[in-house]
Amino acid sequence: MKAVFMTDQGKVRQHNEDAGGIFVNKDGHRLAIVADGMGGHRAGDVASEMTISQLKNDWEASEGLVTAGDAENWLKEQITKVNNMIFNHAMNHLECDGMGTTIVAAISNDRFVTIAHIGDSRCYLLNESGFKQVTEDHSLVNELVRTGQISREDAEYHPRKNVLLRALGTEKTVEMDIKTIIFEEGDILLLCSDGLSNKVNENEMTAILTNEETLEQKAVTLISLANEYGGEDNITLAIVEFFDTSEGDE
């Protein structure tokens, strides 16, 4: 397995409210996370950083997650715990009122990937079948598309594109989507905030992920392209590539 994480403030925002990382547990399995914080008075970065810090600590202490069911239960329990933590923090700190964050997290080993998400940060999979988004945005615009009220083309320019229907930490309870997919030799997983997905289209993502560059170079190229197209938002991504562990690991 190879993996890289990268975040960039973008060209417009005063602060980077995104956070994330790639962490390894006691069994050598990886957890990749991207969180896009929101809230006034810089509270967005509080929410995203709290999320990453808590999940990092819990993941690095974990072991014995053998099955997809183990991974799904771990993500559900730990993300629920983080939701309570952020919600209670906001209730007790006036300056953090209303803060929250999106989250997309993926546990990967040599047999499967388990993905959990809340909000509109995305996970894409590149495999022999092509490149596809494997998460469904929890946003007002996506719900309008899903119910046939507007087209996908209309959604790209909708004035309420950034309105979320779900976020981590904004309510006492939260629903998350969790799914497990097969992860095979040569497959690539891309997790990203909407600072990337709103700017770089899927054809461009595919071309970059399938070129001969290293993972680090691919990450830099993706972020550079989002900035080239305006960079109005923070841009954060994690790329995980499956490869034969007999060749080494990094």
Instruction: Please check whether residue 121 lies inside any domain of the structure.
Output: yes
Domain count, the chain: 1
In the prediction, which pLDDT does 250 show? Answer: 44
The residue among 146 and 17 whose pLDDT is bigger is 17
In the prediction, which pLDDT does 206 show? Answer: 98
Over residues 36-54, the pLDDT tens digits come to 999 865 688 999 999 999 9
Give residue 9's domain range: 2-136+165-242
Instruction: Please check whether residue 196 lies inside any domain of the structure.
Output: yes
Q: Yes or no: say if 114 and 30 are a contact pair by the CB < 8 Å rule.
A: no
What does the alpha-carbon distance between residue 120 and residue 163 come to, in Å, rounded to a whole number?
9
Over residues 216-227, the pLDDT tens digits come to 999 999 999 999
pTM of structure: 0.93
In the prediction, which pLDDT does 142 show? Answer: 86
Instruction: Please check whether residue 68 lies inside any domain of the structure.
Output: yes
Residue 38 neighbours by CB distance under 10 Å: 22
In the prediction, which pLDDT does 162 show? Answer: 78
Over residues 226-250, the pLDDT tens digits come to 999 999 999 999 999 997 654 444 4
Give the residue ranges of DSSP H helices in 37-67: 43-60
Mean per-residue pLDDT over the chain, rounded: 93
86 pLDDT above the threshold of 70: yes
Q: Yes or no: say if 44 and 37 are a contact pair by the CB < 8 Å rule.
A: yes
In the prediction, which pLDDT does 40 show? Answer: 61
In the prediction, which pLDDT does 75 show? Answer: 98
End-to-end Cα, the chain, rounded Å? 7
Helix (H) or strand (E) holding 133: strand 130-133
What does the alpha-carbon distance between residue 246 and residue 90 come to, in Å, rounded to a whole number?
47
Residue 176 vs residues 19, 38, 54, 135, 223: alpha-carbon distances, Å? 19, 18, 17, 11, 27
> Would you give the distance in Å from CA 19 to the centre of its chain?
9
Instruction: Give the domain CATH number at 69.
Output: 3.60.40.10
182 pLDDT above the threshold of 80: yes
**pLDDT, mean of residues 51-68:** 96
Instruction: Please check whether residue 151 lies inside any domain of the structure.
Output: no
Instruction: Please check whether residue 171 lies inside any domain of the structure.
Output: yes
Instruction: Please check whether residue 247 lies inside any domain of the structure.
Output: no
**pLDDT, mean of residues 184-190:** 94
Over residues 105-158, the pLDDT tens digits come to 999 998 899 999 999 999 999 999 999 999 999 999 888 888 889 888 778 778
Instruction: Please check whether residue 143 lies inside any domain of the structure.
Output: no
Q: What is the CA radius of gyration of the chain?
A: 17
Helix (H) or strand (E) holding 183: none
Instruction: Please check whether residue 145 lies inside any domain of the structure.
Output: no
In the prediction, which pLDDT does 169 show? Answer: 95
**pLDDT, mean of residues 44-68:** 96
What does the alpha-carbon distance between residue 17 and residue 42 come to, in Å, rounded to a whole number?
7
Q: Which amino acid is at 183?
A: F
Q: Yes or no: say if 69 and 152 are a contact pair by the CB < 8 Å rule.
A: no
Residue 18 binned pLDDT confidence (cut-offs 50, 70, 90): very high
